[in-house]
Amino acid sequence: MNHNRTINQLRGFHFAIGTIVNQENDPLCGNCVAFSRTAQTIIESFIEFESAHASEKRKFPEEFLFLFEDICDKMALIEHPSEPVRQKKEGNCKLPEGVCYCKSALAVLQTIKAP
């Protein structure tokens, strides 16, 4: 795989996990079904990514190796809500139709991961 593409994907995971960790503290997002599902998807995707690039990791500049560690540290902080609510369907989330902070972070990541 192209080294620059791999680095960009790593940066995308860092962005997405950072967004999830941040939104976990939001009173609506942190208790939403979309948050929980999106967080799980990002975590599972990163685990696959890390496994697929384990041998390449050694070749990364130090500042990018830090991103791997930071992503893992942040993933460990994520707590899924025990009883998530569909915030939009319940009328709690007033973001415009089709807008979700958590899903937007995943969409950015998926765009970067696309061939």
- The stretches of the chain forming alpha helices (DSSP H) are 3-23, 33-52, 62-77, 101-113
**Coil/strand/helix, residue 32:** strand
In the chain, what are the domain boundaries?
Answer: 3-113
pTM: 0.91
pLDDT reported for residue 82: 93
Q: Are 38 and 20 in contact (CB under 8 A)?
A: yes
pLDDT of residue 110: 94
pLDDT by 10s per residue, the chain, length 115 = 587 888 999 999 999 999 999 999 999 999 999 999 999 999 999 999 999 988 888 888 888 889 999 999 999 999 999 999 999 999 999 999 999 999 999 999 999 987 7
